Chains A and B, each alone.
Chain A
Amino acid sequence: MADKMSLVVFSGTEDKLMAASIIASGAVANDMDVSIFVTFWGLTKILKTGKPAPELSFEGQKMKDQLFALMKQKNIPDWITMLNNAKEVGNIKVYGCAMFADMLNMKKEDMDPIVDDIIGVNEFVSMSKDSMTLFI
């Protein structure tokens, strides 16, 4: 059985979302199966419409303009593109959190196609019990 990694993507700031995509890339490079549970502010960033503009976490605020300009200048892909690339390399499943999706009245069709399914916390925890699990 492959080693497993699980990520809870709670934050919706660009820096943390990128961190999640980069860690997931490292995991598939190491032949791990990855499950990503996207919830709260993370979930608001995978909606097809009404997605808030990219932000940075609190400690990144001072560098915000500089960082976004550098990313553009150096052609650094956004986190969804990065995650899609990693998905081509290995086994990554992206799950939307059922509770938060219900709260926002959102269905799978309202989310970016990167989302494989909408599941509840019970199912996610149960599939993660032998995983290296990170909360981002």
Chain B
Amino acid sequence: MEKQFTATKVVDARGTFCPGPLMELIKAYKSAKTNDIISLYSTDTGTKRDAAAWISKSGNELIGVFDREGYYEIVMKKTK
């Protein structure tokens, strides 16, 4: 069962390659407010692990990594 969330911001990085999607996510994170939910769309497979690792390492909350049709959705909550 997928956790329920409503994204405050959607970063659509589909079609860009490593490290593009992660850089886009960090940019969005920096301009976000605490408790904002940021959702990253990516078609780059490396990003699936890389972005999830960054979210955990930076001390934020990883809500989940979901397989969508033809892309991944990686969702985080800004807690720091």
Using a CB–CB cutoff of 8 Å, the interface residues on chain A facing chain B are 22, 25-26, 28-31, 74-77, 82, 85-86, 88-90
Q: How far is the CA of A88 from the CA of B19 in the complex (A)?
A: 13
Which residues does chain A contribute within 8 Å of B18, judged by CB atoms?
22
Q: Which of B21-50 contact A (CB under 8 A)?
A: 22-23, 26-27, 30
Pair A29/B20 contact, Cβ less than 8 Å: no
Q: Which of A29, A31, A74 contacts B19 (CB 8 A)?
A: A29
Q: How far is the CA of A72 from the CA of B15 in the complex (A)?
A: 13
Pair B22/A29 contact, Cβ less than 8 Å: yes
Using a CB–CB cutoff of 8 Å, the interface residues on chain B facing chain A are 15-20, 22-23, 26-27, 30, 54, 57-58
Which residues does chain B contribute within 8 Å of A76, judged by CB atoms?
17
CB nearest neighbor in A for B29: A89
Which residues does chain A contribute within 8 Å of B27, judged by CB atoms?
88-89
Q: How far is the CA of A29 from the CA of B46 in the complex (A)?
A: 15
Smallest beta-carbon distance A84→chain B, Å: 10
Pair A22/B20 contact, Cβ less than 8 Å: no
